[in-house]
Each structure stands twice: as structure tokens, then as C-alpha cells.
Amino acid sequence: MTKRNLNIIYLAILFVFAILFLPNFALAQEHPNLILTKAGVEKIRAELGNVHLFDASLAALKKEVDTEIALGIETPIPKDYSGGYTHARHKKNWFLLQKAGVLYQILDDKKYAIYVRDMLMQYEKMYKTLPLHPKTRSYARGKLFWQCLNDANWLVYVSQAYDCIYNFLSKEERNRLETNLFRPFADHISVNSPQFYQRVHNHSTWGNAAVGMIGLVMNDQELIDRALYGIKDMNLDKTAKDDDGGFINKDGKAGFLANIEEPFSPDGYYNEGPYYQRYAMYPFLIFAVGLQNVRPDLKIFEYKDGVLLKSINALLNLSDADGDFFPLNDGQKGMSYYNSALISAVDISYYYGGHDSGLLSIAEKQGKVLLADSGLEVALAIKNGKAKPFDKKSINLTDGPEGKQGGVAILRKESIELVFKYAAQGSSHGHYDKLSYSLYDNGNEVLQDYGLARFVNIEQKGGGNYLKENKTWAKQSIAHNTLVQNETSHFQGKYEIGSKHHSDLYFYDDKDGEVQIASAKENNAYPGTEIHRTMAIIKNEKFEKPFLLDIMKINSDSENQYDLPFYFMGHVMKVNFEYESPAFSVLGEKNGYQHLYVEGKGKPSSEGTIVSWLGRNNFYTLTTATDTSDELLFTRLGANDPKFNLRRDAGFMIRRKNAKNTTFVSIIESHGSYSPVTESAVNSNSSISSLKLVHDDEHYTAVNISDVNGDEFMMIISNTDSNKTSPHKLQINGRDYQWSGPYHFK
Amino acid sequence: MTKRNLNIIYLAILFVFAILFLPNFALAQEHPNLILTKAGVEKIRAELGNVHLFDASLAALKKEVDTEIALGIETPIPKDYSGGYTHARHKKNWFLLQKAGVLYQILDDKKYAIYVRDMLMQYEKMYKTLPLHPKTRSYARGKLFWQCLNDANWLVYVSQAYDCIYNFLSKEERNRLETNLFRPFADHISVNSPQFYQRVHNHSTWGNAAVGMIGLVMNDQELIDRALYGIKDMNLDKTAKDDDGGFINKDGKAGFLANIEEPFSPDGYYNEGPYYQRYAMYPFLIFAVGLQNVRPDLKIFEYKDGVLLKSINALLNLSDADGDFFPLNDGQKGMSYYNSALISAVDISYYYGGHDSGLLSIAEKQGKVLLADSGLEVALAIKNGKAKPFDKKSINLTDGPEGKQGGVAILRKESIELVFKYAAQGSSHGHYDKLSYSLYDNGNEVLQDYGLARFVNIEQKGGGNYLKENKTWAKQSIAHNTLVQNETSHFQGKYEIGSKHHSDLYFYDDKDGEVQIASAKENNAYPGTEIHRTMAIIKNEKFEKPFLLDIMKINSDSENQYDLPFYFMGHVMKVNFEYESPAFSVLGEKNGYQHLYVEGKGKPSSEGTIVSWLGRNNFYTLTTATDTSDELLFTRLGANDPKFNLRRDAGFMIRRKNAKNTTFVSIIESHGSYSPVTESAVNSNSSISSLKLVHDDEHYTAVNISDVNGDEFMMIISNTDSNKTSPHKLQINGRDYQWSGPYHFK
């Protein structure tokens, strides 16, 4: 036999032994070993009292749990939707169980173990005979909660609690819990609810992690496999849809690994957007840590080229200067990296990733660490002065499992942040807003993305669930800063169509100190119409702050009406055109237009159009190269909103009728400031005196900018060749321009 | 001769000597002696480098002035309104001159004196031949600025600069400045502009102080007298009015002392309200300090029983938890005790007042001190750990020169602050809002007072001046949380009528731990109609937070339509009545109604009316005892506002038609919280199950409150006897109530 063959035999024998003895070996596995480990707990106990951030986090937790222990255990019969009493109580319980478990391990005080045990036993007693939750709205009803999703949340946390008191319980107690509570619980949310469990979706990620986590504690290989790979031999109706209008399982993929594989791009961008990434992050990472501890052989953190850790970096980059996530697709504003899921994420990323000292500064701001091995290490590193600022730079994140379905570009310069979305549909939480953008100045919205239409967990508003205006307004194209053709949404607002397409990056370049630029094309939103949008953040010494240049070139095989809205945040200061304030009228009938009032209607002056507003104590000016035949509209959200589900936000819109090929060119400047305390208005006027489209054909689009001091700037885009080194030559108004690469600015 | 006669002769001789020699003695007065004193400067120099807050304030000032010195002096020919370039530049200059003067004294560095001298000489050169300012809008045009008021601002600051470099200048230089600049400047804003100078008004206070300050530096007794007592023998047309619609001088009173005498109540409440008090505060106090230093014999800080220092305490109490002033009458929101006028005020109050250690904590928050004797003392006291929290309690401030023209009550309990206005008209800046209120929770508005309709100093918005909507909306009664009869404003919105009347306190009691209460009556706003409003902040253990109980009893000799609006801040969560969302309509034709859209129109259910909303992450609920015949309206501000001068704020209104005598009873609760980060909604429902008017006659009004746990509370108001000890007896629904004093709560 060759040496190679010997090796193979040797490996084969090893493999057989592994299969034979792994279960037995594993049966003897120690506890805790999921998030906390035995060794980690020892280290934590040794450091108690020495590491401020850790001690403070522990003290806060202890105070909370002690208060609740004093109040007693409550496990009411399930009854309410989100926001209602029984929902809130069981939600509180899952956190309390997990926290009490951690306290038992760290403080070695039996009262916490007893609390966990007693509550679990109450659940065991109730669950045995518990029917489906009485509320019927969900496509997959849970038992403790109205939807399986929340049952899965419960199990992800409670598995950790069980792990923490595993050794405290008698074998008989463990049997009771596993037989009457955990196993049937895991089955209900998986084999009994495949439409919830067997898909690629944040719901399923929770489901998979829940089943996997309890599987790891119970050392139940079947459950672990079900978690990693989905329910064996289960096939679902590929045309079925969930509550949000998304396909349940079009491709037949399922399981935790598929849920890593599919929604994350190689850059770590999560297809549903940052709000849902934040939500899915916790089960992704907590289960990954559990796997890392129990099944290090899986090398879960290296899976798909380390995408789980990359995704944390992507997610942090998808937040504004204050740490609030950009509300791409369905996203509730105000959700930020202060959310507890991000506390875990930051600590886990530091510990299992490259010990990036920038993460420590975020952990410092969060003011809390995970009470686990990773959290201790983070707190220690901060104590040792290792924290550095987390430096958010411009970044281009691809979308799609292979990074080939468009993406999101974030251009940053000084206080200005542009979020330019040219991604795929974003699953059932996606909005119909190809080539849309939002603009931020120092963490404040200058031009907003509306986000979702929902008051999450506020029972009074539709049970805390999605409101109907999420479909009638928030998802529609007109709710976004992008082009709308003939008052219809992209892809007719249909998920079946939208989910087949994505925009394409044309070029991206953030290497230049003066111009950071992203350019993308969308050819499917309106069949027969090609939209090419280029957005640049330009920093030039002639301007107080970096400004946004937006060039949107449209080629169509038909005549259309084009609407380009600007959802500015602030109070109108001044415009340069005449307009009427009509008796209040509603802008349209459907596709979101039915929610917009017309507050003003005018025609541009021959000089182009200027609108300035006062935002959060800063002045902003939109300068845009309009035609005198355009219509200019001031809009106000709130029409056909009898339940006050929408905010009464302002908008400005350019409407261009009977146009085929056309180009919109706009600049948005942030300038000056106003203080209501000093009452001084500084630099309250725009620095731009004119903005003109000076050349526009198939190959090139050129824009001339003049400032108030007579300085001139020219931006030329090559529309057909984005090669970085291609040489270009163009004559404009008798002057020759020569450059290489897809754009020229001077 | 008797001894008495001898004394008289002795005094007469002294008097003659005083008259003969005082000017000479005074000519030899030392400089600086206005705000800084020679002795004070020595002390400051000795402490440099030792007192952090003082050093930091000095460093900031030095940096600012050094930058400007490097940029050079600019004194453009006057041209613009507020917010325009020349306005802003001359405004900047006055601050720079004053600051550079201070730096010269403290740092003893000639470059600052040279800067002041050179700029003053440029002004001297320009002023000699300067015509009236070209903009004609003001009732009293200035020369450097469009209105005398700003010229006076300039002189108040520049006098200080002149004082600081007085000894640095040659006699010839001083002569030039005094002859060509200061004296004619003082004359222009006084004898040449009596309609500005010769009145009781914040404008005149600035004028008086400006003339007085330069008089003190120049040691010009005529100017000092003109400042203190007004222009001698000047009589004005008593029916003339100013730009804001106020009488210019109805009573013939004038001068700085009259300006202390008239607008301040004995409690230190300033009749125009806190926004203008803040504005007038600086000249009041700075000139007072100058007088205290140069003319200690005047005992200015003891004038009118020490009202100047009392007024600082009143002003600080007229701010919310964040230090923002309540926008009573014309007030721009966001103005706060961080304004520089309040930095002076706090330091001066500490130094010349009772060394109240609470003031030090405000100085700490301000992070700056006045670079003068007082500021040093404050900084030293803070350094020595003397700062204590400034504890704002409930306070009742009388209005009127003798405290007999109504007032403003502020009830505070935990995070809740109620501002209840039952004051006099408030001069030309007064609003027509008798018995109106606003409510705050932790510094956030729950029910707002609109404030003024103006973007102060923002040139784009009407030159930074009052907008026409200030009259058509902001001043109108319907813009406030008070009663409007037959869609007309109080006093028909006429200043002539309104300025003759005031509401009257009925009783005020903040001594009880559970109930803090204020009650006032208004009999003149609508002739033939008496309005009696009682507002209580009630803290009871059955409720999460203190709540507001509002009882408004109306007696009229005619049938009327009564509108009671609630300008709630936030997003509607839930109501308990049916309503329609009409095709957008405007509520009325005039008196402010023309600016309100109707967003919803309904009828109360038989249970009374409940409206809840989500404010800044807190829930609020209005529960009000309506009749089923009432109309309920949701309103939205913004109709007939073609220039976007108004905010698009929400309102809710109870409309009671064809009523004569009637009583409105309402409760506003703050409860629970919502966090967009944790997405948890806590205690999002009201604790009140019913609110009923159970007795209402001439003598007593009784209200029954039931909470969701079945607890019952009764509030009884004695409507005719407010004596604190009077015994009362009343049977309601067969039960006997006995108590003493104007109210009973149990």
C-alpha cells in the first residue's frame, strides 16, 4: 500500500470511531457550554470586581432579576397579540430565564437556579396541554405567542437558561423538561410549522437557532441536524406566500447554513436590510457561538469565508453618525447599535474576530457587555485602554448570495452620509425603491427614507404589527427618493416581479479625496425604460461642506410622466419660483399617491429651481436643473389616512410630463447653521449660482456647476464605458476635455 | 440758630460743593469702572490659571477674538435687514469690540486695545455722515441697523469696550470718538427717536441702558439722567402704536427706572413674558452693574424691593427641565438659559444677590462665566465645590407693577410641569390667551403653546422679522389651549381692549404633597361670559405619574359656541369615538381658524372621550367628560399658509354648540414609555376608566375620577368662596362631603 492509501484507511478508521463514540463522549459533555463555558465562568469569577464595564453590566442585571424574583413567577395562559399583556409577560420571562441562568453561573447563587427551575416547571406544566395560540392572524401560529417566531425567540433564550442550570437539575427534572417542554416545543416550531421553519428568512433563522440551541444543550443530534440543514425530506408548496407577501420557500432551501448562505452577500450585507439584520443577528451569532463551543469542528465562524463576522462590520457601517440604522426596506427608525442584539454582536465580533479595537469604542458607548467570555474580554480590553474610534468610511456592499445582485453604497465625507440603494428586492421586507437614496448630516436626516409604517409592539396601532399603510405607502416607490414613471411603482409593486431583478453597479470609487462616487443602472423596474443614476459626494474648498451631486439619466422607448420626489426634512425657507397653494387636493389615486396632499403647485423659473429649508439647525438647499415645462409640487403626507397611521411629512417633487429620454440633475448642499439660543443665522444661502446640463447623449453626460464667486466645475460621466483606465475625449461648448476612467470632475 | 437750622445750612453747603466739584471729581474717575473694575481686574489677573471655568471662558473668548483680529476689521455701509450681511457684520462687531476690550483689561495685551481703537475710529469716520438706514420698515429707524433697537444693542456693548480702553486712548482720540460717534449716536437713539426711547418697553430698556452706559463712561450727567428718567419734558402722542400693534406711550412714563417700575411685578415677572425678559435682561443688568459701580448711592439692586435680582429667579423658574423658556406670548422656542444674557444674569445674581448656590449648578451647565468680577466669583465658588442643584418648585408669579394684574402659575411635580397663564396682556408682545396653559413632561411639550410665528434673524423668512402669521395665527386665542367663544379671539383680538384687562387669581395652593392647584377667573375676554378655570397637578400612588386635572366652568348670559382645543404633541395612538375623515376642509374664515384644516370630525361616545398619543417616547392620554352632542375635531395647522410660515402641528378640539353655562372637565395623563431601541411598549394604556362631572352649580363643581382598578376620587371646587379656612358641606349622590378651604380632593 502506498503511504497515501494508508492515510486514507487511517482516516476512515478515525471516522468510524468518531461516529461510534461521539454520542457517548458528547453525552458526558460539560455544562454550561453554549454561550458561557465552564472555563469562561471560572475566568469571570476570578475577575469579578476588577473590570468596571463587566461589573456594571452584571450589577444592572442582578438588580433587574432580583426585583423580578421578589415579584414572583407569572406564566399566564397565552391570549394577546404583541404589546398585549400575556405577550409581554412571556417575552419578559424569556429574558429573565436567560439572565437568571447567567447569574447562577457567575454568582454561584442557588436562588437563581431555583428561579429558573421553578419557572421552567410552570411552563412544562402549562405547555403539555397548551393548544395553538387563540389569535389567528399569523401564517404560522405559536403556542405561547401568536406567531411561531416569538416561540422561537423564547426557545433561543431559554435554551441558554437550561444550559446554565443543567447540572443543577436532577436527571428526572431534566427528563421531564425535555420530554414535556423542550422537545415538543422544538417540534412545534419546526416539523409542525414548516411554513415558518423551512425557509430562508429571518423567521426561520430564529427557528433554526432555537431548535439548534436546545439540541446542543440536550445533545440531540437530530435536532442539531434539523437546525443546520432543515427538516429532512420536507418539501413545501413553492408558490405559497407569508403574511408580508414574500414567497415562503421558492427554492427549497432551508436550515441554518442555508440561512447564512442565501441572505448574506460575501460582504456581509443582509438582503432584508439592517433593521432585520439586527433582528436576525442575535440567533445567528448566539447559535454560532454555541456551535463554536460544542462543535468547533464545524468552524462556523469561517463558514462562507467568515461572513457572519463580516456581517457585523457591514451592519455597523449601515448606521448613521449616532449609531441609528439606515431604515432601508422595512426598518423602524431609531433602532440602533444600542440594541442588545448589537451588544452581543460587537462583543462576539471582537472575541471571535480580529480583536478590532474600533469595536471597543462602540462597546464603551453601549455601556454594557455580554455576560460571557466575549464580554469579559471586551471589558478587559477597554479597561486596558485599547479602545479606538470606530472609523466609518465610505463602503460599497454587494447584495446577493454571491455578491452579484446589486448592492448598497454608503458615501461618507465629514458630517455627510449618503445611502444609495441599488440592491435586490430584499425578500418580503423589501421596498420598491430601485436607485433610491437618503442623505444624512451629522446623524440627522436631510432627505429621508420613510422606513416602515408600523409601530412595533404598540398594541394600540394594529396590534403592534404592520399597518396597511406599509403596503399602500411605505413600500411604494413614491415613498422614496427615486424616480416614479406614470404614477406606478417599480415592478408594478409586485413581489413576484421585483424579486426576480436587481439593479447593477456601474462603477464605484471612494479613493479620490475630492469626489466619492457611485453609479448604478436599473433596467427592469419599468420595462422599456433604463435608469442610470450617479451620485457623488464632493468636497471642494470653495464650499463650506461636502455636497451631493445627483445625475439621473433616463432612456425610454415610450413617452412617460416622470416624478422625482425629494423628502426633505425641515421647514421651507425660500424658493425661486412662483407657485399656487391650491385648495387642498390629493395627488393621485393609488400606488402611494393617494396618501399625498398637494400643498403647492408651480412652474420653474428659467434659471432652474432652488428650494431651501431649515433642518435641525442647519440650512439645506436643493438646486436642480429643471425645464420650464416641468411641474413643481409641494406635497404633504397624510391623505386617506383616517387612523393617523402616517407621519405628516413634507415633500417636494419635480414632475416631467410627456418625456422619453431625459436627465435630472440636482445638487443638495448642507450649509451654515442656526441656533435658537444665540439666534444667529450663519451662511444661510446656497453657494451655487447655477447648475446646468451642458452635454447629454448616449455616451456622455456633462454637468456644469457655477458657484456664487464665479468658480466653475464640470462633472462628466461616461455612460457606456465604466472601465477605470479607458481614455475619453469630449468637446463641450468648444472646449476639449480629456480624461480616463468613468468620470471626470474639475 | 437752632441746631436744626445749622444742619440745614451745613447740608446746603455740602450740596453746593457737591454740585461744583462732582464733575471734576468724576472726571478723574478711574477706568474700567462699568462692568469690569480696576480692583476686579487686579483680582482676576491674580487668579489666572487657577480657576478652570474662568480660564476656559477666557480661552474661548481669546480664540474667537484672535481669529477675527487676524481676519481684519470690516465696517460695511449699512444696507440689510436682520440676517443680511451688513446687519450680521455690525452685530458681530459689537460683540467683538466688547470682548476685545475685556481681553485688553484681563490680558494686558495692547493688541486688543489697538483693535478696539481702530474699529471705533472706523465707525467714527463712517458715522459722522451716515444717513438713516435705507430699510424703511421700522417705526424707529437706526443708522447702523434698520431699527434703533439694534443701534442701542450696539451701544450697550460698545460702551463697555470704550470703558476698557478709555485710559489707553489719548485725550484727543477720546474727544473725537465722543464728539463724532458716541454723543450723536446716543442722541439718535434717544432725543431723535423718542417713539423708540421714551416708553416702557424692552426696546426702550435697551435704549435707556445704551445712553446710560455711554453716559457713565463719558461721565456725562445729562446722558445718565436721560437714561434714568427719560428725555426731559418730552411728551408723545398717547395713541400712537409701534410695529407690533402696541401703544408707544399711553401713560407718559419713560426712562430706565420706569422700565423697572412698570413691566416687573413685585415677584420679578416681566409682563412681556420670559422670551423678552431674557432679551431685556442684559441691558437691565449690565447697566445696573455699571450704576452699582459708578453710582453706588443709587442702590439700583435694591430698587423696587430688589426686583432686578428677583426677576432673574423668576426667569429661571420660567424655564422647563432643559432650561428652555416657556414660550408665553411672543417667544421663540429653543431660547434657553444657555443664552449669553443668562450667563451674565446668573453670575450677576450670584454676586450681587444672596450667593444662592443653586445658581452655581446652572453656571456649571452653561459652561461659561462672565469675564468680570462676578464671573470670577462664580467660577471660584464652583471650583470650591459650592454648587448645588437649582431646585425648581411650583411657583405663582404675579403680573402687573403692583402684582395685581393676574399672573402665571407653574405647577411642578416630578417630571411634569404645568404653565397656567392668567396674566395681563403682556404689552405689544402679548397673545390673546387668557387662562391658557401648556404642559411639559421632562422638558418635552405634551400640549404646546405655539410661541411666535417668526424665524428670528433668518433673512429668508420675512427679513427675520415677525411674519404676518404672528398676528393671523400665533396671537389669536385659537392658537392656544384655552376657550374660544363663537370663533372670535379674546377681546376681539384688539390690543386696545386687551391691554385694559387681566384675569384674576381665585386661589393657588402648592403646599399639599398630593394636589398642587391653581384657579383663576376671566370675566372680560368675552363680555357677558365668565370663565373659571382650575388646574391641578395630582400625584397619587394609584397612578404611575402625576396627572393634570382641568376644570373649566363657563357662565354666560347668552348662548354660544365654545371651542376647547388641545395642541397635543405626538402621534395619535387611539381614540374611543367614531369619526369621519372629511375631504380636506378649512375650519373657519378668520381669527386663526383660517389656518386650521379639519383632519377628522366625530361625535363622542356616551362614555366621554379618550384620545391617546405617543409623544417623545412616552404615552399620553386625554380623558374628557364630553356631551354626546359635542363635536370632536382633529385639526392640522397649515391652511392659508402659502409661504410655509407655520408648522404643520396637530390639534384636537371639543366644540360645544348652543351652550350657555357649561363645564369642561379633562384629565391628561403621562404614562408608560416606548423605546425604538428595545421596541418595548410599557404601560401604554390610561389608568382612568371614567371621568364625570357629578355636581355643578353656582357654588360647587364636583368631578369624579375612577381608575381601572375601581378606585374612586372626588375633586370638589368651591366656586364662590376661596377663603382657605371657610368650612364647606355638600351632598353628592346621597353622600355627604365636608371640608374647609376652596377645594377638596379625596
Q: What is the pLDDT of residues A467-519, one digit of tens each?
A: 999 999 999 999 999 999 999 999 999 999 999 999 999 999 999 999 999 99
Give the pLDDT band of residue B473 (cuts 50, 70, 90): very high
Alpha-carbon distance of B242 to B382, in angstroms, equals: 44
The answer to whether the beta carbons of residues B572 and B611 sit under 8 Å apart is: yes
Q: What is the 3-state secondary structure (H, E, C) of B547-590?
A: EEEEEEEEEECCCEEEEEEECECCEEEEECCEEECCCCEECCCC
Q: Give the pLDDT score at A579.
A: 97
Q: Give the pLDDT score at B9.
A: 60
Give the pLDDT band of residue A23 (cuts 50, 70, 90): very low
- φ, ψ of residue A224 to 5 degrees: the values are -60, -45
Q: Which positions in chain A touch B464 (Cβ < 8 Å)?
A: 681
Partner A, chain B 547-586, Cβ-Cβ below 8 Å: 571-574, 579-581, 584
Give the pLDDT band of residue A10 (cuts 50, 70, 90): low
* CB atoms B457 and A574 under 8 Å: no
Widest distance between CA atoms in chain B: 95
Q: Give the pLDDT score at B27.
A: 45
Give the pLDDT band of residue B235 (cuts 50, 70, 90): confident
- φ, ψ of residue B598 to 5 degrees: the values are -100, 120
Q: Does B367 touch chain A (CB under 8 A)?
A: no
Q: For all residues of chain B together, what is the average pLDDT?
A: 94
pLDDT 10s digits, B312-339: 999 999 999 999 999 999 999 999 999 9
Q: Give the pLDDT score at A28.
A: 55
3-state class of B729 per DSSP?
Answer: strand
Peptide bond into B32 cis (omega under 30): yes
Sign of CA dihedral A333, A337, A340, A344: positive
Q: Give the pLDDT score at A411.
A: 98
Alpha-carbon distance of B204 to B258, in angstroms, equals: 10
Q: Comparing C-alpha atoms, which of A518, A520, A508 is closest to residue A553?
A: A520
pLDDT 10s digits, B45-84: 999 999 999 999 999 999 999 999 999 999 999 999 887 8
Query: Does residue A21 carry a pLDDT above 50?
Result: no
Give the pLDDT band of residue B22 (cuts 50, 70, 90): very low
Q: How many CB pairs under 8 A join A and B?
A: 121
Domains of chain B: 403-745 (2.70.98.70)
Q: Give the pLDDT score at B707.
A: 97
Q: Which of B166, B197, B269, B276 is labelled catalytic?
A: B276
DSSP assignment of B348-407, as one string?
HHHHHTT--HHHHHHHHHHT---SSHHHHHHHHHHHTT---------EEEE-STTS-S-E
C-alpha separations of A554 from A485, A531, A603 in Å: 10, 5, 21
Q: Give the pLDDT score at B24.
A: 41
Q: Which positions in chain B touch A614 (Cβ < 8 Å)?
A: 455, 458
Give the pLDDT band of residue A233 (cuts 50, 70, 90): confident
* CB atoms A459 and B684 under 8 Å: yes
Tell me the one-letter amino acid at A253.
K
**A452, three cell numbers:** 416602515
The answer to whether the beta carbons of residues B453 and B466 sit under 8 Å apart is: yes
Tell me the one-letter amino acid at B667.
I
Instruction: Tally the residues of chain A.
Output: 746
Burial of A86 (0-12, 13-18, 19+ CB in 10 A): buried
Q: Which positions in chain B touch A336 (Cβ < 8 Å)?
A: 676-677
Instruction: State the DSSP H helix or E strand holding residue A317, giving kind and residue range, or none if neither.
Output: helix A303-317
Instruction: State the DSSP H helix or E strand holding residue B152, giving kind and residue range, or none if neither.
Output: helix B148-165
Q: Give the pLDDT score at A239.
A: 80
Alpha-carbon distance of A170 to B71, in angstroms, equals: 81
Q: Helix %, strand %, coil % for chain B, to 5?
A: 35, 25, 40
The answer to whether the beta carbons of residues A521 and A506 sit under 8 Å apart is: yes
Measured in angstroms, the CA of B81 and the nearest CA of chain A are apart by 13
- The fraction of chain B above a pLDDT of 70, given in percent, is 96
Alpha-carbon distance of B455 to A681, in angstroms, equals: 10
Sign of CA dihedral A242, A247, A251, A255: negative
Q: Which of B188, B201, B203, B429 is labelled catalytic?
A: B429
* CB atoms A335 and B584 under 8 Å: no
pLDDT 10s digits, B631-678: 999 999 999 999 999 999 999 999 999 999 999 999 999 999 999 999
Q: Which positions in chain B touch A464 (Cβ < 8 Å)?
A: 681
Of B458, B640, B681, the CB nearest to A674: B458
**B716, three cell numbers:** 370638589
* CB atoms B684 and A458 under 8 Å: yes
Q: Which chain A residue lies closest to B91 (C-alpha atoms)?
A: A680
Of B340, B460, B674, the CB nearest to A573: B460
Query: Does residue B13 carry a pLDDT above 60?
Result: no
Of A460, A676, A678, the CB nearest to B333: A676
Average of pLDDT values for A364-368?
97
Q: Give the pLDDT score at A575.
A: 97
Task: Sheet containing A700-707: give its strands across.
Answer: A688-696, A700-707, A712-718, A743-745
B276 is catalytic: yes
Of A641, A647, A679, the CB nearest to B457: A679
Widest distance between CA atoms in chain A: 94
pLDDT 10s digits, A305-350: 999 999 999 999 999 999 999 999 999 999 999 999 999 999 999 9
pLDDT 10s digits, B530-561: 999 999 999 999 999 999 999 999 999 999 99
Q: Give the pLDDT score at A24.
A: 41
The answer to whether the beta carbons of residues A465 and A366 sit under 8 Å apart is: no
Q: Which positions in chain B touch A650 (Cβ < 8 Å)?
A: 648
Alpha-carbon distance of A548 to B100, in angstroms, equals: 39
Alpha-carbon distance of A237 to A243, in angstroms, equals: 15
Measured in angstroms, the CA of A462 and the nearest CA of chain B are apart by 10
The answer to whether the beta carbons of residues B201 and B429 sit under 8 Å apart is: no
Of B584, B650, B676, the CB nearest to A333: B676
DSSP assignment of B175-240, as one string?
HHHIIIIIHHHHHHHTTT-HHHHSSSSHHHHHHHHHHHHHHHHHT-HHHHHHHHH-STT----TT-
Side-chain half-sphere of B373: how many Cα atoms within 13 Å? 20
**Nearby residues of A503 by Cβ (< 8 Å), 6 or more positions away:** A406, A422, A423, A434, A435, A520, A521, A522
ipTM: 0.90
**Nearby residues of A392 by Cβ (< 8 Å), 6 or more positions away:** A316, A317, A319, A321, A412
Tell me the one-letter amino acid at A689.
S
Q: How many CB atoms lie within 10 A of CB B709?
A: 8
The answer to whether the beta carbons of residues A164 and A102 sit under 8 Å apart is: yes
Alpha-carbon distance of B217 to B164, in angstroms, equals: 9
3-state class of A149 per DSSP?
Answer: helix
pLDDT 10s digits, A620-645: 999 999 999 999 999 999 999 999 99
Q: Does A6 touch chain B (CB under 8 A)?
A: no
The single-letter DSSP state of residue A166 is G
pLDDT 10s digits, A531-548: 999 999 999 999 999 999
Query: Does residue B7 carry a pLDDT above 70?
Result: no
The answer to whether the beta carbons of residues B380 and B40 sit under 8 Å apart is: no
Q: Which of A90, A201, A203, A429 is labelled catalytic?
A: A429
Average of pLDDT values for A198-224?
96
A276 is catalytic: yes
Query: Does residue B741 carry a pLDDT above 80?
Result: yes
* CB atoms B599 and A83 under 8 Å: no
Measured in angstroms, the CA of A158 and the nearest CA of chain B are apart by 19
**Nearby residues of B282 by Cβ (< 8 Å), 6 or more positions away:** B156, B340, B341, B344, B345
Alpha-carbon distance of A461 to A473, in angstroms, equals: 16
Q: Give the pLDDT score at A84.
A: 85
**A10, three cell numbers:** 487511517
The answer to whether the beta carbons of residues A303 and A246 sit under 8 Å apart is: no
Query: Does residue A249 carry a pLDDT above 90?
Result: no
Of B83, B581, B599, the CB nearest to A681: B83
Q: Comparing C-alpha atoms, which of B688, B733, B695 is closest to residue B713?
A: B688
Q: Which positions in chain A touch B581 (Cβ < 8 Å)?
A: 640-642
Q: Does A640 touch chain B (CB under 8 A)?
A: yes
Q: Which of A123, A269, A276, A593 is labelled catalytic?
A: A276
